[in-house]
Amino acid sequence: MTIIKKVALGLSGGVDSAVSAYLLKQKGFHVTGIFMKNWDETDEKGFCSSDQEYEDALHISTKLGIPLKQINYVKEYWNEVFCNFIKDYEEGLTPNPDILCNKQIKFNLFFKYAIHSLKFDAIATGHYAQSSFGSFLEYFKDNTDARLLQASDSFKDQTFFLSQIPQNALRRCMFPIGSLNKHQVKEIAEKIGLQKIAQKKESIGICFIGDRTFQSFISEYIDAKPGNFVDIETGKIVGSHQGIHNWTVGQRCNIGGVIKPFFVYRKEPTTSTIYVASGTDNPFLWTDIFYTKDSFWIRNSPLTSKNLLKCQFRFQHTKPLTACTVYKANVTGDKLLIKLEEPLRSITPGQYAVFYLNNECLGSSRIFNSGPSVNIR
């Protein structure tokens, strides 16, 4: 058993990590802020958001009277997150870089740096999530598993993005604002003199894209490869596009001269063909069965002796949870078949199916195809 005294907090420059630092200090922990620089590209206006975020983190640490260290993970982020992001789009997938960033950077490299190099007792982040060990750790035990629980504020809950963090990091991680809502967090920031931070515009979307459109950003890294829109029902060409990386499953297509709008059904990277279906309620856009691979469980596999699990799932963090049954689809168990109680629209290859049971986030598995005719090898 290790008593927790020294805590390394991921201090991003935002209100959530700022209030987390304050609450930790109020509990008597010796807190050090760690600013992780993951991206250093300057946009077309000469603005680098990372520099501004560091200035805000410095302002927070000065106001709260805690040390601040900066660590550069630009190279690691590029190799472990961004290159995979580009590769996925080239292959017609829709990735989630936030899940990868948490898995590879924050709860891997940052965790190891804080615990093993800097000799901290635990780490903390400003995520809206909770641990079965509590919001503030007094001590931890290596032989006891921690459960990742949803935040009190279901709208802000971020367990979706934490669904692949390893157990060794979760055991020694605090989520100080997991029991609060956003309004309460901003109120605390205002009261402790961090009005500027409390009033910051909340960042949404993919961090490294910033204020640019997705199309203008992605065109800097992937060459245009024109192709056709093909109606999945008739096989006829109904339009053209400049690259499959500009489109995602379920997205409405800008095809003129049609009565019903077309939506992306499937992308074929080898021919640069995008198959489309007409009408929002087209059956091709809905499915109640799909397959996943590279499964990750935060604790031990929850599948029963019959190799199944009844639980809930989502593949977009803002969507309601949907009841499902999970089946083991191969011998090793890294591939799963998911059967939904009711069909959902636009299950997207490349995204993660994140599983929940009784308020606990169990883990996730990456979607690679949908429909009952898919063969599992």
Residue 15, strand partner residues:
none
Q: Which of 83, 207, 253, 324 is catalytic?
A: 207
Rounded to the nearest angstrom, the gap between the alpha carbon of residue 186 and the centroid of all alpha carbons in its chain is 23
Give Dmax (Cα) for the chain: 69
Taking each helix axis from N to C terminus, what angle separates 49-64 and 15-26, rounded to the nearest 10 degrees?
Answer: 20
Contact (Cβ atoms closer than 8 angstroms) between residue 256 and residue 272: no
Amino acid at 136: F
Is 361 an annotated catalytic residue? no
Phi-psi sector, 252: left (phi>0), alpha (psi -120 to 50), beta: beta
The upper half-sphere exposure of residue 366, i.e. CA atoms within 13 Å in the direction of its Cβ, equals 14
End-to-end CA distance of the chain: 44
C-alpha angle 273/274/279, rounded to 5°? 150
Q: Which of 101, 173, 311, 324 is catalytic?
A: 101
Is 101 an annotated catalytic residue? yes
How far CA 70 is from CA of 23, 137, 333, in Å, comes to: 21, 24, 40
Positions annotated as catalytic residues are: 101, 207
